[in-house]
Amino acid sequence: MTTDLDGTPVDLDRAQEALDGSRWLWTFDHTDAGEPLMLRLDAHGQPALPLSVVYRDHGPLTPVPQPTTAAMYRQVLEAA
């Protein structure tokens, strides 16, 4: 699922890394206003925060790189 934050798309299906180095993951829950709730991956016991609060307090978010799989390599080689 992708959501929009200040005109910037955020892919909620992937872990996100904030400017301060913290990593966040969508909890599949929303606030009463419909905003995605994000959970910090390295902070156990802390409550989930709305996406806008994560963005405001920790900086812009970028998706965490995913490793390339053998299936991806195969798909590229077969397309050539």
Of 20, 25, 44, 22, nearest in space to 36 by CA: 25
- In three-state secondary structure terms, 35 is coil
**Beta-bridge partners for 38:** 26, 49
Distance between CA atoms of residues 4 and 23, nearest Å = 18
Q: Measured between alpha carbons, how far is 29 from 73 in angstroms, rounded to an integer? A: 34
pLDDT digits (tens, 9 = 90+) for 9-53: 888 999 999 999 999 999 999 999 999 999 999 888 889 999 999
* pLDDT tens digits along 45-73: 889 999 999 999 999 999 998 888 999 88
pLDDT (tens digit per residue) in 1-12: 777 667 778 889
Q: What pLDDT does residue 25 have?
A: 95
